[in-house]
A and B are shown apart, each in its own frame.
Chain A
Amino acid sequence: MDVAIIGIGIHPFGRTPARSGLQQGAYAARLALKDAGVEWRDMEFAFGGSISAGNADALGNELGLTGIPFINVANGCATGGSSLMTAYNTIRSGAHDIGLVSGFDKHDRGAFNADPAAMGLEQWYGELGLMMTTQFFAMKIQRYMHDYGISENTLARVAEKAFINGSLNPNAWRRAPVPVEEIAGSMMVSNPLTKYMFCSPSEGGVALVLCRADKAKNYCAKPVYLKSAVLKSRRYGSFEVFAPSQALQQVDGPTVDASRAAFEMAGVGPGDIDVMQLQDTESGAEVMHMAENGFCEHGEQEQLIQSGATHIGGSMPINTDGGCLANGEPIGASGLRQVYENVLQLRGDAGEHQVPGNPRLGYTHVYGAPGISAVTILQR
């Protein structure tokens, strides 16, 4: 049984002081239900999560208490991907025909401060100032630049593109382009990454309505089919965040594993994908994730990014809605934002940020602490 996405809704990302995280989630859910032409009472199940804005199940207080199984999902940056994968498997199994996936969040300003104990680590690791995701990403791209010849200018180009795409997306947080010189010359946060090369914690909400593929046309003129939804965690030997030690022999990370499994499940390859949303919590991550997801060889990113291939009009458009860099990262909503964007793209409804050429296949990828990755492949 295939699975279709028949309704999508989003609450604009950024800062919305007047609405709680939960209210932003409810706003997105109402739009998704309306988009599918269904009512909340038609939902047979709901899965969702937030990290800082309460249990997603509390959406029932906003939308109505209907008695359905509502499962709260908490899986770091892959919270949305995990909810979606679970919904996908629920419909594929035949247990339910239609349901809703929700993700929302509302974080304080400034970098996340993770709790060592929650990650299975001892207190000294945090006391010494090592419990920082920003350091991990900086050290990963630092080594990657050394091994594969990626330049600092290329890191700035990734952020430049993100803000250009954000300026075309009415739901993005950062809506003004930033010159590449300003990005490169902004405050150094964690060498080699500057302020504009990092995304910030933010707020927002996304919801999706999914149903059995054979019933999709009853609801929606342009259903988009979920060809795969895969979640993987790290194996021993992958270079991961929040690791007091790393193996001497490195193996592929969860992104590579999730990507391969997703392509196999969908029966397509990287060359078939027309539009892709790749986790860009900082600009180095986008560079490395291009290769880890199979879209190029390690080191080819330098030429691809410098030549503009990853722009909306390029041969491999990446993060067409501005990605995390322009939207910020409300953790619970972030992975579903990528799926929302791909549905818009495949429907041909992305407006100013629409990829030309009538795209048929879209790809999403998130990576999160302490080494998990979720990938989806969508087809119209």
Chain B
Amino acid sequence: MTNRLPIAEGLFTWPAQQPALLASRCRACGIASFPVAQSCMACSGQDVEVEELPGRGTLWTWTIQQFMPKSPYNSGETPETFRPYGVGYLELPGGVRVEGRLTENDPAKLHVGMEMEVVFDTWRTEPNGDEIVSFFFKPVA
């Protein structure tokens, strides 16, 4: 059986039936931040609680990364297998705008304000067979 491991601990609920991105919210000023932080960037408060972010939002802005980044990029791709990928900020209502990779890389199919959902999928497979899971933003059909 293959192990499916999150790309980082504490980034999203895992394992879970329906995983969700995790944010910290400041009990003093109410500002949310992703990923979870120990203190609040807005008011310097240190009294924060962890909460699940909504799984759906609107695309605030986006681009397509057309060339393969240098290290620390670690996708298991080679220059020959590299495929351009979309990147964007998804506005999660009541939460925060989260940056992430998009499942879509065709600029003609992307526009500011479109509905997207947060999905969780295999990001790369390690030499020992472990699958590393990350989060992605996918257009809502």
A residues near B (Cβ < 8 Å) are 110-111, 113, 115-116, 122-124, 126-132, 134-135, 138-140, 142-143, 146, 187-192, 236-237, 243-248
Contacts and interface: CB of A to CB of B under 8 A. Distances in A.
A190 B61 CA distance: 13
B96 A131 contact: no
Given A139-B62, A139-B89, A237-B42, A113 B99 contact: no
B66 A188 contact: yes
B61 A143 contact: yes
B69 interface: yes
A126 B7 CA distance: 11
Interface residues of B, number: 41
Contacts, number: 115
B8 A244 contact: no
Closest 8 CB pairs of A and B: A126-B72, A138-B63, A143-B61, A245-B34, A113-B70, A124-B8, A127-B74, A246-B97
Contacts of A113: 69-72
Contacts of A188: 64, 66
Nearest to A250: B97
B8 A190 contact: no
Given A126-B73, A128-B101, A131-B72, A191 B60 contact: no
B14 interface: no
A236 B41 contact: yes
B31 interface: yes
A129 B69 contact: yes
Given A124-B134, A191-B64, 15 more contacts: A110-B70, A113-B72, A128-B75, A129-B69, A129-B101, A131-B72, A139-B87, A140-B61, A142-B112, A190-B65, A191-B66, A245-B23, A246-B60, A246-B97, A247-B31
B36 to A, nearest CB: 10
A139 B88 contact: yes
B123 interface: yes
Contact of A146 (B66, B85, B101, B112): B112
A354 B90 CA distance: 46
A83 to B, nearest CB: 28
Contact of A128 (B23, B42, B70, B134): B134
Nearest to A237: B42
Interface of B: 7-8, 11, 23, 31, 33-35, 41-42, 60-67, 69-75, 85, 87-89, 91, 95-101, 107, 112, 123, 134
A247 B91 CA distance: 9
B63 A191 contact: yes
Given A129-B73, A129-B101, A190 B112 contact: no
A127 B112 contact: no
A122 B35 contact: yes
A130 B101 contact: yes
A135 B85 CA distance: 11
Contact of B69 (A122, A132, A142): A132
Contacts of A237: 42
A262 B57 CA distance: 39
A237 to B, nearest CB: 7
A127 B42 CA distance: 27
A190 B64 contact: yes
